[in-house]
Structures are given as structure tokens and as C-alpha cells.
A and B are shown apart, each in its own frame.
Chain A
Amino acid sequence: MNVLHFVNAFFSDSAHWHGYDGIPYRVVEHLQYSLEALAFAAAIGLPVGLVTGHYGRGGNVLALIATAARALPTFGLLVLLVTWLSFSTGLVMIPLVVLAIPPILVTTYEAVRSVDPSPVDAARGMGMPESRVLFQVELPVALPLILSGLRSAAIQIVSTATIAAYVSLGGLGRYIIDGLYQKNYEKVVGGATLVAGMALATLLVFWAVSRIVVSPGVRRSS
């Protein structure tokens, strides 16, 4: 009885491929939570990081918030929120978003702040409006670092979204938690494999995105 055996047994059982508890359904569910959480976190982290990075101010405050957010136990926060506010699908978002904001915010801030000041000076001196300086000069150069922040946030979300199952909200965590409860290790290993596979797929997606959106001039020179 080794791990590979469990994996094989889990994925070859046709019952695992259909219905409410089937793999496709759970994968979509998991993906949905992850994407939503990433979108929320990016909607907060990116603009704040871009603006503070552009003006080069607020770094200390950001670092403080980020450290505090990182110290928050994700799992504890989820349980607290559920007992406090009762169930809703939106609820699982909060700890995931809180988890994902610090890497996005801090790397975006650092990425923009550390852009070589001379092209920025040249852009201003040529009469480029401030918004264009940010979006057409700083952002394209900061993009690889910003994407790496988004990537680590995404991977953390994908792996942490398993806790949604703990409060009966589904996702791939369902297999792990149910499996542990039922002492069904086939299910535990299968669920864990799926989560790991999804984290790897996330890496792949980010790699592909950066190939497309990052200018070759930036990719090659950094």
C-alpha cells in the first residue's frame, strides 16, 4: 500500500468522476473560490501598491499591515468568522483575501518603487502626464515582479482554499477532510494530489501570462 497505489485507486474509480462529489465539480468549485479570492485581493493590493510605489511613500505602513496580515492564522480566522456570522459562501473569501493581499501589495509597491529613476525622469521631462508615467513607463518595467507577487498569492490561495471544506463549503478540501474522517486514505491522497496539481497548473498559467504581457526588452535585461 503506497501512495501511488492510492492515487491510482482514487482516479480510476469511476464514481469519483460524476455528480455532486465528483472531481470535475470539485475542481470547478475550488477554481472558483481561488479566482474570486485572487480577484478581490488584486483589486485591493494592485492599486494601493501601484500608487504608493509611484509616489515612493507609505512603505513603512504597508510593511506593518503586511506583517500583521501574515501573522493572522487563516484557519482560525475562518472558524471565527463562521461561528460569528454563520455560513455563506462569501465568508470563505475573507481569510483567503486577507492571506493574498500582503504578497500582492508589498511586491507591487517594491516593484514600482525600484524602477530605475532615470527613464522616469526622462518621461516627466518630455512632458508625459503622471498617469502615463505610471502605466507606460513604470508598470511595464515592474511587471515581472508584480506578476511574481500575484503568483505567490495565487499559489497560497489554491493551497489554502482547501479549508473551505472544513466549514462545509466544498472545494477539493472536501476529499481530504472527508477522507480523514472516514479513514479513507485513498480519498485523502487523491484530494491532496489534485490540490498539488492545481498549484502546479497555476505556476504554468503565470509563466504563460508573463511570456505574453512582459516586453522582451524587460524580460531579457532583468
Chain B
Amino acid sequence: MYRYFIKRILLIIPTMLGVIILVFTIMSITPGNPGRQILGSSAPQSAVDELNHEFGVDRPFFVRLGDYIWGIITRLDFGESWRTRQSVFVEINARFPVTLRLALMAIIGEVLIGVPLGIVAAVKQYSPADFISTVIAMMLGSVPGFWLGLMLMLVFGVQLSLLPTAGLSTPAHYVLPLMTLILPGASGLLKITRSTMLECIRQDYVRTARAKGAKEKSVIFNHALRNALLPIVTVCGINFAYMLGGSVVIENVFSIPGIGAILVDSINMKDIPQVMAITILFSFTFCLVMVFVDIAYSMLDPRVKAQYQAAGKRVKKVKSGEVAA
């Protein structure tokens, strides 16, 4: 099985290579040239040319792409920010921990709120508690994160003057951003927990457990929930990765000095290397999280574990074999 995981981790490499090529290509189709865009239309052509030469964008596309990939592979070098003329990691190192910390805290909060409520809603299906939590979850699913942030700011920060609304200097500063991140995520988790639990509760093995004389609590937690965990873990993984993306917007709302703020600034100032580095970094985090989700699967479900063990032993044939058959 370890061989499977090693393989799974190694598979990140071609995916990331693809991501790098894709992101680089997208960023290269920018109309006009970066020098002109940064210096403005009134700058003399010679200055623009000089700047373009400095950035290396006057070279052919494939040369630049090859250079970029080579730099990453050999030296983990993602280039220099065009704005600060420093390595892109200077900004990332300073800001990424803030975003990561927020996302981690938020995902824990989501699980603590969403999963128990989802279980209650499923076990007490059609009860008022089920109805209310399902309706609230549905509403929250349609609220854009930044507006939720603004509304929380309006209510708790402006009207009630209870909580600070900008920055992250004290623990109280964390409350509103975390609520903004947690509420929609928790409602998504509630929905998926509720629906998979409802499915699991109806399974024959749950009836077997009841027929054995198991207590209702044990029926729900030991028998139903353990089977419902797989989709829940998947959603947690996806939520975590998207939280990194979503935090871009939230950080802007609450003026948090995280990586999202830099991303928006970099996009506005055409700082292409910085944008590429941040996008690639987020994608890498996403891939890593999905590997963790896979590992969690094998711990939760012996059937998946068996599959992994089998896949680790044999080289898997191309999946499309089943199409041809």
C-alpha cells in the first residue's frame, strides 16, 4: 500500500508540470507587452523595450517556458516579482502562513459545526431542527462569501460595535473573517453529511445492528457514520482547497495581510511572475490535500485499502481499457 501512496505522490509531479505549463501559457497570451502596460502609454519606446528585455519577455515563448520550468526544477526558482524586483517567495513567505492559518482554523470550525448538525438533521429527519438547519444551509449556499463578510461587518462591527473589522492583530479580529469562511463551508458540509447519513441509515447493515440490540447511539455513530465518512472527508478536502481560493476575497473584505491581498494587487499591477507563483502554489496545496484525502480513505474503508494494495502491486492498465471492452 505504501507503494501506492508513493506512486500517488509521484503523480503530483506530472500534474504540477501540466499546471505550470497551463498557467504560463495563459499568462503569456496577455495582449500588448508588459513593459508598455507597466510604464503606461506615454513612456518612450526605448524604455519599454529595455524593461521588456529586463523581464525577458522579448524572447520566444518556448524559450521562456523552458527557462521557467528549468528554473523551478533545478533551483525552485519561480522568478522575480516585477513589482518589487525580489524573489516571489519574499512576499509569499511573509503572507502564506496567515492565509494557511485562517484556512486551517476555518476547516476545523466547519467540521465541528457542519458534521454534528448534519447528523442531527439526518437522524431527526422531518423534525423542526432538520427543517431549520436545511433551510439555513441552503440560504448560506447562495450567499457570496464577500457579501456575507460585509453583512457580518455591518451587523457586528458597525451597528453593534462589538468586533473589529480590519486586520488580524488580536484574537477578536479573527472572529468575523472566520465566521465568513466557516458559515458557507459548514452549510455545505451539513448538506453532504445529512444526505449521506440518510442513505447510510437506510442500509441493511444498520438494521442488522439494531437487530443485534445495539444502542441507537452506537447504531448511528459506529455503524452509519463510519460508512458516511468517505464523502464527508472528500468535501472537507475540497473545501479546504477552495478556502485558500475563497480567502482571496475574504482577505480583501477584512483587509487581512494574507496571500489573497497580494494576488489581487499583483493582478492589478500586471506582476505576472507573482500571480503565476501564487496560482501554482495553491494548486500544489490542492494536490497535496487530495493525496491526504486518499490516505484518509484507506484508513476509513477496508475496501478502498484493498484496492490500493492491489494497485500498488500491479501496474494499472490505462483506465480507458474499460471503454473499449
Q: Do A and B bind each other?
A: no
